[in-house]
Structures are given as structure tokens and as C-alpha cells.
Structure 1
């Protein structure tokens, strides 16, 4: 099994047909079919079920598809890493981000970093925190930008400044337009739209205040929370900086006055793993807005 065979297999899986995969790869169909058969023979397992017009991956084929993608991403990442080393501070920095950190990352981090190191290009992968950590562990990305809370085991990390959570809503659901900051008790009996990772924190904070939150919708993306809140379906709970993702919506927000409902953006990496000079320079620039509000953990830089 080699990289070439894995690329062939992934193309077949993506296209769902040997014929269209062969066209995409600019090769004849018989040699591609032979490569697939050789791969199945080598692994000793059937990878696809062949139908009259299409193929379907077997369970083993699905496993190989996931692993093959990781292997190819890692191969590409390794190639860039070696190339970047030779180029010094020129090359591509691979970063994974959660959606709720995107606006802060672009405005407060990457823009300034790019002005200082104009020869650097960026490759951004998006996903939830679990996906970002998976990409880090597989070596596809060097750095992850996530939000607290997250599991710091095996991670190096550097926190940015703390920010409050806010309640976002359409004007129709605003019970007091003059109120810009609210105690958490104001959320009692109101339909809440929350990011799933914050559920435990929100529940515990509400319970300590004496009520059970009315969670109307749970999701995995701050943009979904904003979309549902903008439709007037409920009150979204998001980090304050994620409000920038709302663009031109008519949403308004109120800061939640609770020391427990705080979050931070953090840069994370795998401890004791090689970091390129690009990644190190970015981490040096990943400082909080106010002196002393940044924290580091894991291996020193």
C-alpha cells in the first residue's frame, strides 16, 4: 500500500464510480480497477461493493477512507513543513479554528501577524473543538484555535483574554431595550439556543441561581445559534466576540453579568512535537489585549 494507491482509492470513494474516478485521475479504467483489486488483495479485505452503475464502500472501505485521508493530509503537511523549514519564515501555516473564534482570530491575530510576516500563507481548517484536536493529533494542522473549556491533557496552550457570554435576540424578544447588561436570573423561563459544549456550564450556572434553563435548541456552531436567534426562535447564548459572525442581522445583545459565564480563546498544540518557526512566531504574537491576561501551559516555546 502506497500513497499513490491511497489517492486512487479516495478518488474512487469520492466519485462513487470507477469510470468517473478514472476520468478525474486522467487514466484508463482497467488499470484503476486493477489498482483497487491489488489494494484489496494486499489488505485481505473487500473494500467496495460493485453495483451495475456505482460502487459502495464496505465497512472496511469506510475505515480505509478515513485513514487514507488522514495519511494523505499528513503527507502534504509534512511536505510543507520540510519546505517551510528550508524557506525560513516563508511558507504556509496550518491552523484549525472553531467557528466562534474566527472573527477574533482574523481581526486580532492573523491580520497583525500577516503585516509582520508578509511572505507567509495560511491554510485554515474549521470544525468543532473535538475535530480540531483530532486534526492536531493526526498532524494535519500545527496549531488549533479553540475556546475554553477543553481537555488540556497532552496539550500545550496559550490563552487570550477572558470575555463574557452574551444573550443575543431579535428585537421582538427584547423584554427591556434599555438594559445592556443582565443578571443571569433574567433568562429564567426564556427559550435558550446554546452551543452544545457550553451546556453543562450554562446549566450549572443557572441551577446555582435557582432555576433550570429552558434549552430550546442545542447545536455545534455559533453561526447556527445566531441564525436561529435572528429568526426569532429564541435567545442565543454565545461568547461576545462571536457576535461579529452575525454580519448585517438585526440581532441585539445583552452582556450576561455572571463571573461563571466567561470564556477564552486559546491557541493549542501537541506537547513535545516539532513546531515550525512559523508556528512559534505566531504563538509569540498570540498575546492578550491587556498585559498579564495571557496564560501559557505545556512545553515552553
Structure 2
């Protein structure tokens, strides 16, 4: 399977049209069609459903699109690392969930930028499962994980920060009159809850209820979109503090849970990593700052 053909495949998947992809790639349509048929024959699976107006991916095609994207991202990352000069320069890839603790990472990045101005940072947002998957595949150098998280297979530093769980709600909600939210306050309310599985265990323990028994009207990955649903009156979002602006003219407010529920943060990286000079120097800055 050639990298060139994977790029052709991704172009067709993006354009949803062989003729459109051929124009984008500066190929003739018959040439591109032949390359795609050869790819399907090599894999032994049908990758496209060819309709009158557009082509769509089969289940196998969707899987290949995901893997091909990861392969090409890793290739581009490796090429940049190999072409980097001997001085400390290059790209650093950091993933993490939504947490105010990312400010600590930003502060280290700023310090390093002052010392090594030819470094660049690439941020990826996702929950723990998303981040560790990309970390394991070499697409990220570092991951910031919200506890509890499975960090046994990684090297890590504990960040000097905690985040507080609470409820994001409309300012005109009855619960907004309270200083904090008790478990029983939420048992019958429509809730929006993060999809991060490990976080759900701690919330279930705090709520003293199986989450499946609650009125969960939506799940979310990143809280900004969840905040829009809250603002429109869909329900109450269980989330961490300081992620959504609730000051000034905001129609939203945040109330912490009581008993208080806090979580720590870790920055992790693979054991026996193959770091670029920039990532290696960034780790040195992290260790100096947080050890």
C-alpha cells in the first residue's frame, strides 16, 4: 500500500467525488479510478459506494480513512523532526482534556519559547481515551489527563493544580440561588454528562446513584458545545470549573458540588520515548518546573 495512493484515497473521501478529487490532485479521472480499484483489490474490501452524484465510504472505507489520516500525520511529524536543525527547534504535540490546568503548560511553553523561539506547539483537545490513543500511536508527545486516569504505562508528572466539579446552569435556574449543589438536587433533573468513562465513575459515587438511573438528556466531549445546550434550556451540565465564561452578561452560572469533588491533573508521555530535540527540551522544562 503506497503512501501516494493513501493520499489519493483521502482526497476522494474528502471531495466525495472522483472527478472532484482528480481535479484537486491534477490527475485524469481514469487514472484516479484505476488507482482506487487497485487499492480495493489489494485490500480485498470495497471502500466506496459509487452513487450518481457522489461517492460515500463503506464501513471498511471509514476505518481506512481514520488509519490513513493517522499514518500520514505520523509521517509528516517524523519528516519535520528529521529535517529540524541541530539547534533546539521544531514541533511539540500536546493533547489534553478541557481543564484550566492547561495554563500551567502554557506557562512552560512561554518560558521555552523565550529561550528557543523556533519551537512550535500543536494542541489537540479530547478526552482521556482520545488523547492516550494518539499518544500511543506517536501522534502526540505529551498528554494532560484528568484524574482518575490510567497512567501506569506512562511516565508522568503530577501538576500542582486541582479542578472542581460542579454544575453549569442558566442563571435563572432555581438551583442558581444555592451556593452549592447536593446530590439529591440532581436526581430528577435533565443532565448533560461528559462521555469520559473514568470521570463517570467518580460522579456516580458522588451522586450515590447509578448514572443509568438518572435523566441524562445528552452527553458531551467538549464542554463549549454542551454550554450552548444548557443556555437553550436543555438541562444542567456536570463539568469542571473555569471552562465556560460565566461572568458579566453571561446567561450561565456555575455552582460547585457539595460535598466538594476535586480532581488532580497529570502530564504523561510514553515510556522510552523517541523525542525530537524540541520535545526533549520541553520535558526538561517541565521537570524543572514541576519536580
- The two structures have a TM-score, normalised by structure 1, of 0.79
Query: Hey, what's the Cα distance between the residues in 2 that align with 1:79 and 1:133?
Result: 22
1:82 CA displacement? 1.9
Q: Residues 190 and 56 (structure 1 numbering): CA distance in 2 closer, same or farther, change over 3 Å?
A: closer
SS state at 2:208 partner: helix
Aligned equivalents of 2:9, 2:187: Cα separation in 1: 53
1:280 corresponds in structure 2 to 280
Deviation track 1:166-194 (CA, whole Å, cap 9, x = no partner) reads 222222114464x5455555555444432
Q: What whole-Å deviation, never above 9, does each CA across 1:85-114 have from its counterpart, x for those lacking one?
A: x3432111112222x23x542x33225523
Q: How many angstroms does 1:9 deviate by?
A: 1.2
Q: For the residues of structure 1 that align with 2:50 and 2:72, how far apart are their CA atoms?
A: 25
Residue aligning to 2:228: 227
User: Equivalent residues in 2 for 1:155-170 (5 A)?
Assistant: 155-160=154-159, 161-170=161-170
Matched, 1:239 2:235: no
Counterpart residue number, 2:5: 5
Identify the residue that residue 93 of structure 1 maps to in structure 2: 92
Distance of 1:80 and 1:222 partners within structure 2: 33
- Alpha-carbon separation, structure 2, partners of 1:47 and 1:152: 36
Show CA shifts across 1:42-69 (max 9, x none): 3344433433443333343333222211
Task: Name the counterpart of 1:299.
Answer: none
CA contact (8 A) 1:225 1:237 kept: no
Q: Which whole-Å CA distance do the structure 2 matches of 1:180 and 1:104 have between them?
A: 24
Pair 1:218-2:214 in alignment: no
Task: Decide whether aligned partners of structure 1 residues 287 and 51 sit closer, same or farther in structure 2, where only a CA change above 3 A counts.
Answer: same
* SS, match of residue 123 in structure 1: strand
Deviation at 1:33, TM superposition (A): 2.0
**Structure 1 residue 228, shift from structure 2 partner:** 2.8
Instruction: Describe the shift of the 1:234–1:79 C-alpha distance in structure 2 as closer, same or farther (beyond 3 A).
Output: same
Equivalent residue, structure 2, for 1:26: 26
**Contact 1:22–1:32 (Cα < 8 Å) also in 2:** yes
2: CA distance, partners of 1:238 / 1:24 = 43
SS, match of residue 243 in structure 1: coil
Unmatched runs of 5 consecutive residues or more in structure 1: 296-301
CA, structure 1 residues 47+256, in 2 after alignment: closer, same or farther (shift >3 Å)? closer
Q: Distance in 1 between matches of 2:109 and 2:55?
A: 46
Matched pairs, number: 282
Structure 2 length-normalised TM:
0.82
TM alignment of 1:108-257, pairs within 5 A: 108-117=104-113, 118-160=117-159, 161-175=161-175, 177=177, 179-181=178-180, 184=183, 187=186, 189-197=188-196, 198-207=199-208, 215-244=216-245, 249-257=250-258
Describe how 1:53-64 pairs up with structure 2 within 5 A: 53-64=53-64
Contact 1:77 1:141 in 2 (8 A): no
3-state SS of 1:200 partner? helix
Shift of 1:271: 1.7
Is contact 1:147-1:265 (8 Å) kept? yes
CA contact (8 A) 2:147 2:263 kept: yes
**Retained in 2: the 8 A contact 1:189–1:214?**
yes
The CA distance in 2 between the partners of 1:246 and 1:156, in whole Å, is 38
